[in-house]
Structure 1
Amino acid sequence: MRLNDFILRGSERVVHGRLRIETESLGGNTSASDRANNGIKPKALVVSLVIKFDAAEHLRELVRVVEAVDGNGKLVVYDILDDTAQAMGVRQVQFSDDFNVRQMPGQSAWRINFTLQEYLSVPEKIEQRAQAQESETQSADGQQVVDADSGEEQSQSQEYTGVEKVLKWADDALAPSAEESGATA
């Protein structure tokens, strides 16, 4: 396994892939099996390996990689090269959850377990694109959209040409005011 330029050293390495699909039962207390899809969560790779005591520098290097943060204080995102990651379509990961180191009974070695979580998964990218398109659609041309109720207020603050002033005056004189029309209804 390779994370950027770091090569993971150790023996008995095992990588398990995990993909969580969040669902929620819609049946309540009934026996109905309908479920609501709450989304596909980022994939995770659970890694287990053994490092011997006489190769303690490999463990120290691994701990440095796990603790690494970028200039903003966020965990480093790693490009990953691994057969299981490639098969699952995982290209970038971050360390997440626990990093466990246990001494193996009767052996001069440690068993190390950790989780790498996918960074910017495909479902996450699709969700971000949809949100960006939605916000672009809502902002449209940058023109103000006025609903029907507030259109009257806008027309009152508008300036009219000579003919429009006369027509507006005639319209106001002939049409009942809002108070009068409410009283007769």
Structure 2
Amino acid sequence: MRLNDFVLRGSEITVNGVLRIETESLGGNTSSTDRAKNGIKPKALTVSLVIAFNKSVDLSELLQQAESVDENGKLKVFDIVDDTAKAMNIRQVQFNEAFNVRQIPEKKAWRVNFTLSEYLSIPEKAEQRQKTQTTQQQSANGEAIAASDTEQQDGTETLTGFEKVLKFADDALAPDTEESAGAVA
């Protein structure tokens, strides 16, 4: 595995991929199996490897990569070269969640586990593109958007014919409390 120019060194390297599809049950307390899609989350790669005690420099260099930040203080984004990442269509990653180092005394080595999360996943890019298009449609050449048809400039509402009938019925059934208080006094 390679992250930018950094080559991951160690033995017993395993890379597992995860794709989380968030859903929510629509069945409530019933036995229904209907589910609502809440979105596809960025893919993640969990990496596990063994680094010998006498290669502690390799562990230190890997930790430096995990802790590295860009000029804005954000976690560094890495271009990844790995078979599992390629198969899952993951091109860029960031270190995410826990970075675990555990001693294996009988092997005189460390078991290292960490997670790399996809940076700017395909669903995330599509979502950003959609937001940009919506914003562009709403702001016609930087001019303010006119108030809706049902609102006047002074803040009072103009009602449609049907809304006027409903308001008349509402006022007849439950007059404003101010008017009622004046009538009682």
Report TM bin, short chain: 0.7 to 0.9
Equivalence map 1:124-163=2 (5 Å)? 124-141=124-141, 142=143, 144-150=145-151
Structure 1 position 149, deviation (Å): 4.6
Shift of 1:84: 0.2
5+ unaligned residues in a row in structure 2: which ranges?
155-167, 169-185
Matching residue's letter, 2:51? I
What's the CA shift for 1:148? 3.3
Q: Give TM-score, length-normalised by structure 1.
A: 0.79
How far did 1:41 drift?
Answer: 0.2
Q: CA RMSD in A?
A: 1.8
Q: Which residue of 1 aligns with 2:164?
A: none
Cα distance, 1:62 vs structure 2: 0.4
Q: Give 3-state SS (helix, strand or coil) of 1:99's partner.
A: strand
Percent same amino acid among aligned pairs?
A: 61
Q: Which moved more, 1:143-152 or 1:133-142?
A: 143-152
Runs of 4+ more than 3 Å apart? 146-153
1:60-75 matched pairs, under 5 angstroms: 60-75=60-75
Give the length in aligned residue pairs. Answer: 155
Distance 1:105 1:151, change over 3 A: same
* Greater Rg by CA: 1
1:55 to 1:134, Cα distance in 2 relative to 1, 3 A: same
Matches within 5 A, 1:33-182: 33-141=33-141, 142=143, 144-150=145-151
User: 5+ unaligned residues in a row in structure 1: which ranges?
Assistant: 154-181
Secondary structure (helix, strand or coil) at the match of 2:39 reads strand
Taking structure 2 as the reference length, the TM-score comes to: 0.79
Q: 1:152 to 1:89 in 2, by over 3 A?
A: closer
Cα 1:18–1:148 change in 2 (3 A) is closer
Task: Quote the Cα distance in structure 1 between the aligned partners of 2:149 and 2:44.
Answer: 51
